[in-house]
Every structure is written in C-alpha cells, then in structure tokens.
Amino acid sequence: MAHTYSQNLIHCVFSTKERQPLILPERQEQLWAYLFGISKNERLNLIAAGGTANHAHLLLALPPVVALAEAVQKIKGNSSRWMGTRFSWQEGYGAFSVSASQLSTVKAYIKNQAGHHKKRTFEDEFIALLKKYGIEYDPQFVFG
C-alpha cells in the first residue's frame, strides 16, 4: 500500500491449553526464536517474545494489511505444530494496544517474565492486564 503509514503496536498474551506448564525451560529460548522466524516468514514484525512454562507474551508491530486475529492464528498454529503433538495453546488471547512511548517498557516487561512470575501467577497477571486496559470480562469464562 503506497503512502500508507501506521504504528500498530500490540502486546499479545496467550497461555498453553489449561495453562499447563508445557514450555520446558530448556525449550523456551528456542520457542521464542521460532516465533521470530514465523513472524518473519509471515511478514509480521515481532519486536519481543518471552514468557514462562505456561504462557507467552509477544510485542507485535502489525502492518496495516494484516488483521490481529490472522497474525495470532499463524503464530500460534505454526508454533503449536513445532512444539509437538502433546502441545497446544489456549483458544483465545489477550491483545493490548501499546503507545510508542511505552515500547521499551513493554519490551522489558516481556523479557523479565521469569522475574514477574516469582511474585504473581499468570492468572493474576492476565486479570491485571484486563483491568488496566478497561476490558470487561466474565470471571467464570476468562480462562476457558
């Protein structure tokens, strides 16, 4: 698209199915690197990736011609197959817009997931993100 300029930064969060600890510590860095590879192949700009044994955080700069749902589906689908037959991601995800002024803060947050989760669970973190961004949710169904 000639003459189209956009800055669409998205902090995306999703867990493993039933938040099971399926991303072993020795595979985490490989998985984050694989997510970068998928993104490059799909012409997505993945700025940061990280997480823990039961979830992932991505910071994406979406191009104007790619829908968020399409980007997440490609990343989750390809990485799920790469992780193996016993692995799957949850059905949904959280997606939160990020201003350019907060880019370095969100990148640091994603890179320090292990430290954050010494103090709080993924469930608590996800609910806090929903509240911070003013997203309504039903506690009965938020985690599937």
Please write the tens of the pLDDT for every residue from 83-124: 998 999 999 999 999 999 999 999 999 999 999 899 999 999
Listed in sequence order, the residues at least 6 apart from 137 whose beta carbon sits closer than 8 Å to its beta carbon are 127, 130
* Three-state DSSP class for residue 26: helix
Strand order in the sheet with 45-52: 45-52, 55-61, 9-15, 94-98
- What domains can be seen in the chain, in order of their start residue? 9-132 (3.30.70.1290)
Alpha carbon distance 8, 99 (integer Å) = 9
The distance in angstroms from the start CA to the end CA of the chain is 38
Percent of the chain with pLDDT over 90: 90
- State residue 3's pLDDT score: 84
Distance of CA 81 to the CA centre of its chain: 17
